[in-house]
């Protein structure tokens, strides 16, 4: 029997469901391989995801087969049950954890589990919260990465702007000097004309 568990950092505490979401389990010693519709649920009963307080366990203790839906319908309501929700033999089995609620006798889905592949690894499906949280973390990672690249790309910009401003200032200074020179050239003929007129008088 093999069980792998995700390790959390110091100070991080997980609920039981969250902790199980990071585990995968299989039992190479289980005799029926490959699995089929008749044996998949029994194989699942050996996993850490199984609840010994469930109706499945109670039915098994009575010598009944909980893979038969009619057997579970005869068991008390408001207790945990496991049913085979989907089956694609021999490499995909979906187990549904549920609770039947009276008086409507409706089933409240609590969790899904997957039994996959020839090695029959069993996983707990992630919750909606876990999926959204993981996608948000991934999105934030990409946003931060994008800003870091943007910052690197813009790093030369202040230097380029300073050089551009210096060039503009130099160009404006040259234009002012040219205008001043043109004003000086216009004033010199005017002064000469005035001096000639004074001499003639």
Q: Do 95 and 41 touch, CB atoms closer than 8 A?
A: yes
Collapsing DSSP states into helix, strand and coil, what is residue 102?
A: coil
User: What is the per-residue pLDDT across 63-108, written as a single tens digit (0 to 9) for each?
Assistant: 999 999 899 999 998 999 999 999 999 999 999 999 988 877 788 9
This prediction's pTM: 0.60
Q: Do 95 and 112 touch, CB atoms closer than 8 A?
A: yes
User: Per the structure block, which two tokens stand in for 7?
Assistant: 């390790």
Lowest-pLDDT range of 22-31, 67-76, 146-155, 185-194: 185-194
Dihedral class, residue 10 (left if φ above 0, else alpha if ψ from -120 to 50, else beta): beta
What CA–CA distance (Å, rounded) separates 41 from 32? Answer: 12
Query: Rounded mean pLDDT of 149-166?
Result: 71
What CA–CA distance (Å, rounded) separates 70 from 161? Answer: 78
Query: Rounded mean pLDDT of 172-190?
Result: 73
pLDDT at 52: 94
Computed over every residue of the chain, the mean pLDDT equals: 80
Q: For 56-159, list the strands marked E by DSSP.
A: 80-88, 92-101, 106-116, 121-124
Backbone angles phi, psi at 29, to 5 degrees: -85, -5
pLDDT at 94: 96
Band (pLDDT 50/70/90 cuts) for residue 9 is very low
User: Per the structure block, which two tokens stand in for 133?
Assistant: 């949280």
pLDDT at 176 over 50: yes
Half-sphere exposure of 32 (CA within 13 A, CB side): 13
| Cα separation values, 8 from 18, 57, 124, 140, 183, Å | 11, 31, 17, 20, 80
**Within the chain, how many helices (H) and strands (E) appear?**
6, 6
pLDDT at 10: 45
Partnered with residue 4 across adjacent β-strands are 24
- If you average pLDDT over each of 13-22, 103-112, 149-158, which comes out highest? 103-112
């Amino acid at each position: 029997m093999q069980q792998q568990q995700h390790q959390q950092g110091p100070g991080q505490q997980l609920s039981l469901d969250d902790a199980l979401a990071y585990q995968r389990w299989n039992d190479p010693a289980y005799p029926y391989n490959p699995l089929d519709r008749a044996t998949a649920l029994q194989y699942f009963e050996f996993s850490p995801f199984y609840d010994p307080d469930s109706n499945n366990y109670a039915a098994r203790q009575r010598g009944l087969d909980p893979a038969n839906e009619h057997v579970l319908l005869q068991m008390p309501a408001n207790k945990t049950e496991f049913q085979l929700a989907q089956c694609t033999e021999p490499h995909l089995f979906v187990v549904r954890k549920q609770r039947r609620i009276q008086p409507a006798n409706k089933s409240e889905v609590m969790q899904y589990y997957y039994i996959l592949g020839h090695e029959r690894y069993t996983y707990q499906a992630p919750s909606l919260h876990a999926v959204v949280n993981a996608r948000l973390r991934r999105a934030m990672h990409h946003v931060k990465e994008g800003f870091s690249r943007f910052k690197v790309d813009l790093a030369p910009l202040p230097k380029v702007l300073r050089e551009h401003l210096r060039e503009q200032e130099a160009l404006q200074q040259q234009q002012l000097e040219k205008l001043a020179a043109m004003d000086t050239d216009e004033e010199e003929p005017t002064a000469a004309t005035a001096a000639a007129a004074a001499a003639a008088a």
